[in-house]
Homo-oligomer: A and B are copies of this chain.
Amino acid sequence: MNSASIDQINSKVVTFGEVMMRLATPRNSRFPQTDLLQLTFGGGEANVAISLAYLGIEASHVTCFPDNLIGKAATQYLRRHWVNTSQIRYGGEEMGIYFLEQGAVHRSSTIVYDRSHSAFALADASIYDWEQILKGKDWFHWTGITPALSRMAAKSCLEAVKAANKFGITVSADLALRKGLWKNSEEASVILRELVNYSNVIIAGTRELDLLLDDTKGSLDEKVQKVQKLYPSVTVIADKDRKSRNASINTIKGMLWNGKRKITAKGLEVTHVVDRVGTGDAFAAGLIFGLLTMEKQEEALDFATAACALKHTIEGDANMVFEEEVMRLASGDTSGRIIR
């Protein structure tokens, strides 16, 4: 990858997961109203890679695409947005797709998936050589979506975190429970517990934490404490609190538990949401960036919250903002004045 044109930071991050074609109706229109769809690509982990790349991190994404025009276009999308694509595998027949209608005010956004037989979900675990991929890297990031896609994807993910642990690479995970993808919650519980044992930083809310615990009683803070006791590898647990006044006005506030204390970020009200998708991934990328480059976790959390807030103003899945833009907001300048 070349990120010569953006301030370079020496950390190297690897992300792993499915990338889908995103087909969105143009702003405000519904499916039966349009004859044009906006074509981009996205996925929970690739979104993190793009965000990090814009922040100056050397970010590689690992995935599998069909070896045709569409798979090539997906790789080209990641290259365009600064991601290192040298570890992408090609094979299989079809690309995961998701259709998106953006909501507004009281009208919800609607997503329809077409991903059940994607090249990624069907790919054999053997196509990824994790030792070769992760050698010399600093951070590995996965999400709870990947192991939910197929047995094979779960296996690949497990091999990846094991290899990362072997090399002493920090592992982060956004557990992001998607009930529609798992057979049942037991399956989710068994697989995620094993993966979390190899992870160091996890993003999880009540629903995700419950999957890691046999005893799910107690407050969020108590759950966090239990998870930190049960999974000693996990040094940081984070989450973001979202208040949705409606689809166009959301308030975001990051929270982080580091085993010693709970840190809460300044809340940010996003008064005119442009695109709600991928805001969690922007938070994750901001957190990874903060933990990699900042001295205090408070700073990292404010950075993650600001990154998340800014993502709401960017169309598409990924957070295409620069470090200085996030820093300006994280430092408290909410004015949005023109930069000349």
User: Contact mask A101-113 → B, CB, 8 Å, 1/0?
Assistant: 1011111111111
Using a CB–CB distance below 8 Å, which chain A residues touch chain B?
2, 4-6, 23, 27-40, 65, 67-73, 75-77, 79-82, 84-86, 88, 90, 93-95, 97, 99, 101, 103-114, 116-117, 178, 180, 244-249, 268, 270-272, 274-277, 306, 309-310, 312-316, 320-321, 325, 328-329, 334-340
A336 contacts B105, CB within 8 Å? yes
What's the Cα separation between A254 and B163 when bound, in Å?
A: 54
What's the Cα separation between A37 and B116 when bound, in Å?
A: 22
A81 contacts B334, CB within 8 Å? no
Q: A338 touches which one: B93, B108, B338 (CB < 8 A)?
A: B108
B72 contacts A106, CB within 8 Å? no
What's the Cα separation between A336 and B85 when bound, in Å?
A: 32
Q: How far is the CB of A86 from chain B (nearest CB, A)?
A: 4
What's the Cα separation between A31 and B41 when bound, in Å?
A: 13
- Using A35-B40, A248-B271 as known contacts, say yes or no to A4 and B117 having CB atoms under 8 A apart: no
A270 contacts B336, CB within 8 Å? no
Q: A33 touches which one: B5, B180, B271, B320 (CB < 8 A)?
A: B320
Which residue of chain B has the shortest Cβ distance to A30 in the bound complex?
B320
* Chain B residues in 8 Å Cβ range of A4: 75, 85-86, 88, 90
What's the Cα separation between A93 and B114 when bound, in Å?
A: 8
A249 contacts B277, CB within 8 Å? no
A313 contacts B107, CB within 8 Å? yes
What's the Cα separation between A265 and B287 when bound, in Å?
A: 44
Q: A27 touches which one: B27, B248, B271, B320 (CB < 8 A)?
A: B27
Query: Which of A73, A90, A320 gathers the greatest number of chain B CB atoms within 10 Å?
Result: A73
- Using A5-B75, A29-B315, A79-B2 as known contacts, say yes or no to A94 and B106 having CB atoms under 8 A apart: no
Known: A2-B86, A5-B72. 5 other contacts (CB 8 A): A4-B90, A32-B72, A97-B97, A245-B335, A248-B336
